[in-house]
Amino acid sequence: MAGAALRRLLAEYKQLTLNPPEGILAGPVDEENFFEWEALITGPDETCFEGGVFPAKLMFPPDYPLSPPKMKFTCDLFHPNVYSDGRVCISILHAPGDDPTGYETRAERWSPVQSVEKILLSVVSLLAEPNDESPANVDAAKMWRDNREEFNAKTVRLLPARSH
């Protein structure tokens, strides 16, 4: 199975290098291991994340694309859908099939038709529009909902690679 996963990852990497989405760079940490990638995501314009560059890692399972990768920001990021250790909580990265909690539909969860590019674009969208109904960081979700000005100020203080 790992051979099929490697072929798929090679194809996705080629596609990302030939036609990179705006504000996103991604690829394997090194050519010897295509199952661990680094990504740089530029904060979306007209959001409190604008001007930030957010490094992340993607770890792919041997049965990719049948199972989703795991994604983790490697910088501090105060966001309703990012755990304190940097793990990203987004439907597209949840295992395929029915949601045991009944919150997500099958269509929102991982399926083999998804791709690294779709994941990264979904994360950019999540930065712009957090899902505060299903938070990984309850404090960030509450602040996002109740005091956007304070949320924005706290986020700006933590932005990596930003000239203040």
What are residue 88's DSSP bridge partners?
Answer: 82
The tokens describing 131, both together, are: 């899902």
CB neighbours of residue 81 within 10 Å: 24
Q: Active-site residue among 89, 124, 126, 143?
A: 89
Q: Is 89 a catalytic residue?
A: yes
Question: Where in the sequence numbering do the catalytic residues fall?
Answer: 89
